[in-house]
Structure 1
Amino acid sequence: MKNKLLTIALFLGIHGISLAQRVIDLSSGKDIAAMPANNTEFVMTDSISGNRTVLNVTKPSLTVYTPKKEISNKTAIVICPGGAFHALDIDNEGYSVAKLLVAKGYTAIVLKYRLVHINMEAANPLAKLGKLASDFKVLENRMAPDVPLAIADGRAAIDYVKKNAAKLGINPAKVGIVGFSAGGTIAAAMAYSDDSQSRPAFSAPIYPYLAPFDQQAVPSNATPLFISVAADDDFKFDGNSAKLYQKWKDSGASAELHIYAKGHHGFGTKKQNLPVDQWIDRFTEWLAFLGYGAKQ
């Protein structure tokens, strides 16, 4: 069972960052000091790495990390951690990503989106999910009803950031998104959006789950895409990532694809002493190429 849980943890995928930050209730747009008492959110901490996993999110929120004014490039990036729509790999694919981006002058905004409910009173709350991992189609069917909710939260996040650009100290025309695995589904959904208010200036689906978009056409004036994945992805997401790149290229839209020889699924900000460890440098180089990197 331990091996099964490690396998699902790949698909599931320190908040103590000494940076200016605030937490916003996405449904109301108000700053919050703490989640309400009736909040169902649950956090599990890995005893070895110290990385945390968040489960049972029912109240979407944004955690905003602001760079020092002297290095700010006025660009905001919404960050969507992954977790099979059952959990959020909140450190590896959320807060640690924010720390790296803020150091480069970006306003980094971590999205907690709504998730499939997991019974935390069970003896081993992730055991059932571990069993589901052996049959990906069953897992897909279980998470399918909640995918639209997560995408709606991504749309609301982009909308909030654009409308509150002055308060956040950013340019509303420079709001982008990066998402990992299930979070990559949200990033891809925003790139496919035909709504100008929720369409980002750029989108970066990282080892994304893309099944919901198999038949979807690339929109006109499509947002630029940055895609990164490992060739040994445990869920074979490298194939669909390559197809997404080809769809964008065939439509005449801008896209960049990095397929690393090794790295597995869920590499996020892990240090594996592999070339994939530098994917975020390639990402920010791409952003600078598009004009979203220099200090404004």
Structure 2
Amino acid sequence: MKSDRRTLLGAGVLMSIFGSARLAAQTAPPAAGGELPPGLPQPGETIDLWPNGAPGMPAQPPVETTTERSEDALVTDRAVLGITVPRMAVFRPDRPNGAAVLLMPGGGYRHVVVDKEGYEMARWLTARGFTAFVLFYRLPYDGWEAGPDVCLSDAQRAMRLIRHRHADFAIDPERVAAMGFSAGGHLCADLGTRFARRTYAPVDDADALSAKPVCAAPIYPVVSMSLPHAHPGSRELLLGADPSPELEAAHSPDRMMPGDAPPFFLLHAEDDDVVPVENTLLLRAGLKARGIRVETHLFEHGGHGFGLRKAVGKPVEAWPELWRAWTKGAGLG
């Protein structure tokens, strides 16, 4: 088995060096008009998740729209909504280290914030040898047949596709992690706890593979769907205006913890005035109750949505290196 994996990884390295031009973008990265800032690498390669179109299309499909929210010409902050072609934007390192990270940006389940919590983190990861995949997931309020499971369907499918195509990217299929931010942190925790739940009908050989990440890192995550700790906007867009207690519990990862969940890395600022720190504490308690490995970092200051750019100059700036050091003992490093 080990020799087979080495052979596959070697083939992947050759593909990464000589054949990347053949893996061109399927669905173009988002654009919001105007010139993109110089010096910020943009993905030229994407992977559409569903070969025959996303399942359960609404009767009135949404229209994908990208909005540029940044007022700084040198920094992009695009928000994408109305996604009908779920996909991954691929960031390849110059020298792959054999590990990959599936990134799930936040956006309150209203849109997907692809720059601040996607592309920026992907660039950080590729500079350190990781292959990064930024997930453009469908949004639950658009009327998809899967309802509140639609985002998880895309995350599960993405994990399986990364493993299925690991040789194309010089990736060890057993070293694929998940990381998510805010509502994307909820999706990350959902994937880390409900990876085995069937949320869609299999479409090809990739769906025979596991969707379980080797480790999961929900960053300032939405976790609970029950008040008072739930983030009201995410809760309503995911579950509706008046969800039942049973529906709340089914979509609160701290209450859906399996005994075989992967190790978790948790991070939150205690002065977060958008998603209360209690969300991370509840998730930690749920992990501890099931005997799952978990590392938790709480910072006094940082607020919400700091990612990389808003952490500069604060103690919380250290968080990516804390995660990287932790991964070495969590199966990714």
Q: TM-score range by the shorter chain?
A: 0.7 to 0.9
Once the two structures are superposed, the pairs formed by residues 157-168 of structure 1 within 5 Å of their partners are 157-168=158-169
Equivalent residue number for residue 71 of structure 2: 48
CA offsets per residue over residues 32-73 of structure 1, 9 Å max, x none?
xxxxxx98221111242431111211210111111113xx22
For residues 267 and 84 of structure 1, what CA distance do their matches in structure 2 show? 15
Structure 1, 274-283 or 105-114: larger mean CA deviation = 274-283
Once the two structures are superposed, the pairs formed by residues 93-108 of structure 1 within 5 Å of their partners are 93-108=117-132
Consecutive aligned runs of 4 or more in structure 1 exceeding 6 Å deviation:
none
Once the two structures are superposed, the pairs formed by residues 1-296 of structure 1 within 5 Å of their partners are 17-18=40-41, 21-28=44-51, 40-49=63-72, 50-69=76-95, 72-116=96-140, 146-193=147-194, 195=196, 197-210=210-223, 211=225, 212-213=251-252, 216-272=255-311, 273-293=313-333
For residues 257 and 153 of structure 2, what CA distance do their matches in structure 1 show? 19
Contact preservation (8 Å) 1:180, 1:266: yes
Q: Partner letter of residue 77 of structure 2?
A: N
Equivalent residue number for residue 8 of structure 1: none
CA RMSD across the alignment: 2.6
1:43 counterpart SS class: strand
Contact preservation (8 Å) 2:213, 2:262: yes
Contact preservation (8 Å) 2:186, 2:253: no
For residues 99 and 65 of structure 1, what CA distance do their matches in structure 2 show? 7
1:237 counterpart SS class: coil
| CA shift in 2, pair 1:92/1:261, >3 Å | same
Q: Partner letter of residue 51 of structure 1?
A: D
Q: Partner letter of residue 272 of structure 2?
A: D
Normalized against structure 2, the TM-score is what? 0.68
Q: Partner letter of residue 181 of structure 1?
A: S
For residues 171 and 330 of structure 2, what CA distance do their matches in structure 1 show? 16
CA offsets per residue over residues 154-190 of structure 1, 9 Å max, x none?
1110111111111221011011100111111111111
For residues 95 and 86 of structure 1, what CA distance do their matches in structure 2 show? 19
Contact preservation (8 Å) 2:177, 2:332: no
Q: Partner letter of residue 279 of structure 1?
A: W
2:284 counterpart SS class: helix
Normalized against structure 1, the TM-score is what? 0.76
Looking at CA atoms only, which structure, 1 or 2, has the larger radius of gyration?
2
Contact preservation (8 Å) 2:46, 2:87: yes
For residues 82 and 108 of structure 1, what CA distance do their matches in structure 2 show? 16
Structure 2 alignment gaps of length 5 or more:
1-36, 54-60, 197-208, 226-250
For residues 89 and 213 of structure 1, what CA distance do their matches in structure 2 show? 22
Shift of 1:274: 1.0
Percent identical across equivalent pairs?
32
Total equivalences in the alignment: 247
2:274 counterpart SS class: coil
For residues 288 and 107 of structure 1, what CA distance do their matches in structure 2 show? 16
Contact preservation (8 Å) 1:29, 1:160: no
Contact preservation (8 Å) 1:19, 1:66: no
